A and B are shown apart, each in its own frame.
Chain A
Amino acid sequence: MTPASERLLELAGVGKHFGGVTALADVSLHIKHGEIYGLIGPNGAGKTTLFNVVTGLYQLDSGAFDFAGQRYTRCKPHLLAQAGIARTFQNIRLFANMSALENIMVGRHLRTRTGIWGALTRHAAARAEERETVQRARELLVYVGIDCAHQTLAKHLSYGEQRRLEIARALATEPKLLALDEPAAGMNATETVALKALLQKIRASGITVLLIEHDVKLIMGLCDRVAVLDYGKKIAEGVPEEVRRDPAVIAAYLGGSAGGEHD
Chain B
Amino acid sequence: MRLHRSSGHLTLAIALLALPFIIDALFGHGWVRIADFALLYIMLALGLNIVVGYAGLLDLGYIAFFAVGAYTYALLGSPQFGLHWPMYVVLPLGALIACGFGVLLGAPTLKLRGDYLAIVTLGFGEIIRIFLNNLNAPVNVTNGPQGISAIDPLQLGGFSFGDSYNWFGFRVDDVHLHYYLFLAFTLLVIFISRRLEDSRIGRAWVAIREDEVAASAMGINTRNIKLLAFAMGATFGGISGGLFAGFQGFVSPESFSLMESIMVLCMVVLGGMGNVGGVVLGGVLLVALPELFRNAAGPVQQALLGKVVVDPESLRMLMFGLALILVMLWRPAGLWPSTQRRREFDADDSVLHQEQETVYDASK
Contacts and interface: CB of A to CB of B under 8 A. Distances in A.
A93 B213 CA distance: 8
Contact of B201 (A76, A105, A116): A116
A93 B211 contact: yes
Interface residues of B, number: 39
Interface in A49-96: 55-57, 76-78, 81-82, 86-87, 89, 93-96
Interface stretch (A138-146, A186-194, A220-228): A138-146
B200 A119 contact: yes
Contact of A94 (B211, B340, B346, B358): B211
A98 B352 contact: no
Contact of A98 (B206, B232, B364): B206
Interface string B212-230: 0111111111100000100
Contacts of A126: 199
Contacts of B221: 76, 78
Contacts of A119: 195-196, 199-202
A215 interface: no
A120 interface: yes
Interface string B129-167: 000000000000000000000000000000000000000
Interface in A104-132: 105-110, 112, 114-116, 118-120, 122, 126, 129-131
A162 interface: no
A97 B346 CA distance: 18
Given A78-B219, A116-B196, A98 B362 contact: no
B115 interface: no
Nearest to A147: B352
Contacts of B204: 106, 109
A119 B221 CA distance: 18
Contacts of B192: 120
Contacts of B356: 142, 147
Interface in B320-345: 340, 345
A206 B195 CA distance: 37
Given A151-B340, A151-B346, A138 B219 contact: no
B210 A97 contact: yes
A102 interface: yes
A139 B356 CA distance: 8
Contact of A171 (B216, B345, B360): B360
Contact of A109 (B196, B211, B220, B346): B220
A109 B232 CA distance: 19
B203 interface: yes
B172 to A, nearest CB: 32
A213 interface: no
A179 to B, nearest CB: 10
A207 B210 CA distance: 28
Contacts of A151: 340, 346
B351 interface: yes
A138 B220 CA distance: 21
B217 A81 contact: yes
A207 B358 contact: no
Interface in B284-320: none
A106 B355 contact: no
Given A93-B213, A119-B196, A174-B362, A78 B220 contact: yes
A207 B363 CA distance: 9
Interface of B: 192, 195-196, 199-204, 206-207, 210-211, 213-222, 228, 232, 340, 345-346, 351-352, 355-356, 358-364
19 contacts: A56-B216, A57-B213, A78-B220, A81-B216, A97-B206, A98-B207, A109-B204, A110-B218, A110-B219, A112-B200, A118-B199, A119-B195, A120-B196, A122-B195, A130-B199, A130-B200, A151-B346, A173-B219, A207-B362
Given A95-B206, A119-B195, A142-B355, 15 more contacts: A77-B216, A78-B220, A81-B219, A86-B217, A89-B214, A94-B210, A98-B203, A109-B218, A109-B219, A112-B200, A114-B199, A139-B360, A142-B358, A147-B356, A151-B340
